[in-house]
Structure 1
Amino acid sequence: MSVAEPRRIVLFRHAKADWPQVTDHERPLAERGRTDAAVAGRKLADTGIPFDLALCSTAIRTRETWKLAVHEFPHRPKTVYEERIYEASPGELIALLNETTDDVQNAVLIGHNPGVQGLAEILAGSSEGDAGERMNRRGFPAAAFAVLSFEGPWKGLEPGVATLLDYWAPTE
């Protein structure tokens, strides 16, 4: 795979979580979250992006979101559950993505706010169409995702190098 081919990274926030009497890491999805995760999965499948890798936080709500979303995909990518995603800053997420091997062309990261939204804003040096305007207007609610593209190796992923291609969020 040539590093000259554009790579795509999807930043996907977990769906709406419930608030039972458990630690934050153990919070499950709410009923609405289960519905939105499946819808987000269909929307991601509709992009036609053939994901090679999914990096998912170890938190229960992210694992449940990914399980419901990936069920909608025609091809299930390799999934790595990564504890460093939980409560990660945008800089920590960039460092994690920089470790991705260059045989991975397209990846999805399933994580949490404020890290996921911050990362989308930091990476996007430009945007196509109204994707940036929609993301700025909506923020990054539960189950939202941003599709970004960049050129070069994963270790070259840094602030401002990507183009925001698309943004989706469930309706309230």
Structure 2
Amino acid sequence: MSVAEPRRIVLFRHAKADWPQVTDHERPLADRGRKESAEAGRRLVDSGIPFDLALCSTATRTRETWKLAVQEFPHRPKTVYEERIYEASPGELIAVLNETPDDVQNAVLIGHNPGVQGLADVLAGAAEGDARQRMSARGFPAAAFAVLTFSGPWKSLEPGVATLADYWAPSD
């Protein structure tokens, strides 16, 4: 990896989940969530980001979201299912990301709100174009993702060091 080339992290909220009589951790995707997962996968492919690593919550709805999204990819990145992402605060998510090996240039984190949205807000010290306005206007609905860039090693990822490069959310 070139020192001048920024790293990218995509913060991806799981798609719409169903509410059956199961624990929160075991909630599956709703029909709409399955469709949105594939759509988000296509949008991630369109971004042109060659992902090296996916960090995914162990919750059923995040695993299903990632499984459906990654089917759209020409190359499946290494996927790590990480229990600490479930119900994590932005600070806890930063701690997980700080452990990313430095040979990883582009990563996607598949998680939950309010942590994912909070992390996007906290990391983005700057924004390109209207990305921040679009994210502020829409919030972080199910299946939305934010693309952030930053320079330096993963252990240097901290509040305000990233640029919000893009934001996408499915249409209602």
In which range does the TM-score fall when normalised by the shorter chain?
Answer: over 0.9
Which portions of structure 1, spanning 4 or more consecutive aligned residues, are displaced by more than 3 angstroms? none
Pairs within 5 Å for 1:1-172: 1-172=1-172
CA separation in 2, counterparts of 1:164 and 1:80? Answer: 24
TM-score (norm 2): 0.99
Percent sequence identity over matched residues?
85
CA separation in 2, counterparts of 1:3 and 1:52? Answer: 17
Report the secondary structure of 1:43's partner residue: helix
AA aligned to 2:7 is R
AA aligned to 1:18 is D
TM-score (norm 1): 0.99
Are the counterparts in 2 of residues 29 and 61 from structure 1 also a CA contact under 8 Å? yes
Report the secondary structure of 2:76's partner residue: coil
- Residue by residue over 1:113-167, the C-alpha shift from the partner in whole angstroms, topping out at 9 and shown as x without a partner, is 0000000000000100100000000000000000000000000000000000000
Q: Note the C-alpha offset of 1:4.
A: 3.6
Report the secondary structure of 2:58's partner residue: coil
Q: Note the C-alpha offset of 1:5.
A: 1.9
Q: Note the C-alpha offset of 1:2.
A: 3.5
- Residue by residue over 1:47-86, the C-alpha shift from the partner in whole angstroms, topping out at 9 and shown as x without a partner, is 0000000000000000000000000011100000000000
Are the counterparts in 2 of residues 5 and 152 from structure 1 also a CA contact under 8 Å? no
Structure 1: unaligned runs, 5 residues or longer: none
Q: Note the C-alpha offset of 1:3.
A: 4.0
CA separation in 1, counterparts of 2:168 and 2:119? Answer: 16
- What is the aligned-residue RMSD (CA, Å)? 0.6
Report the secondary structure of 2:63's partner residue: helix
